[in-house]
Amino acid sequence: MLNISGLNEGIVLDHIEAGKSMDIYYHLGLDKLDCTIAIIKNAKSSKMGKKDIIKIDGGLDIVDLDVLGYIDHNVTVNIIKDNRIVEKRRLKLPKKITNVIQCKNPRCITSIEQELPHVFYLADEEKQIYRCAYCEEKYGKKKF
């Protein structure tokens, strides 16, 4: 049972791969928020051995689930209301991501037209391969 004490209302990101919580913290822009955030590292997990947990005192609108799904789609998103878990969400690799990763192809139009959004789409779900929407440049998720 996930310990949610001290959080009446908010979000708990559970089952984060141990050591990845800070990546998630920065990529979700949580460092720019005013709300209370607790990061728990190396919590014991029967399923994973060790895991990280992030507790956020705020609504689901704070968290970009596409970005989170891209970084670690095994994270469970628990939504807390009145001191209990009212909803659990499982994540998937997003089909499309915008401005999360950047195309490294120097001939890509996004290298020339700086104002263009960096759009990648999921080309191979099993191998976790993304491709640039403009030039098809491959981006393996493992490099993240």
| Shortest CB 133 distance to Zn ion, Å | 8
Q: Can residue 137 be called a binding residue for Zn ion (CB under 5 A)? A: yes
Among 43, 134, 138, 141, indicate the residue that binds Zn ion (CB under 5 A): 134
Q: Can residue 116 be called a binding residue for Zn ion (CB under 5 A)? A: no
Q: What span, in angstroms and rounded, lies between the C-alpha atoms of 128 and 136?
A: 15
Q: Can residue 144 be called a binding residue for Zn ion (CB under 5 A)? A: no
SS (H, E, C) 44-70: EECCCEEEEEEEECCCHHHCCHHHHHH
Report the SS3 class of residue 131.
strand
134 versus 144: smaller Cβ distance to Zn ion: 134
CA 136 distance to own-chain centroid: 23
Q: Can residue 100 be called a binding residue for Zn ion (CB under 5 A)? A: no
49 versus 117: smaller Cβ distance to Zn ion: 117
| Shortest CB 65 distance to Zn ion, Å | 24
> Which residue stretch of 25-33, 41-49, 77-85, 104-112 sits at the interface with Zn ion (rule: CB under 5 A)?
104-112
List the end-to-end C-alpha distance of the chain, in Å, as a whole number.
31
| Binding to Zn ion, residues 61-80 (CB under 5 A) | none
Name the nearest CA neighbour of 14 among 95, 90, 93, 94: 90
Among 103, 120, 130, 139, indicate the residue that binds Zn ion (CB under 5 A): 103
Which stretches within the chain are classed as H helix? Answer: 21-27, 65-71, 109-112
Binding interface with Zn ion (CB under 5 A)? 103, 105, 108, 132, 134-135, 137
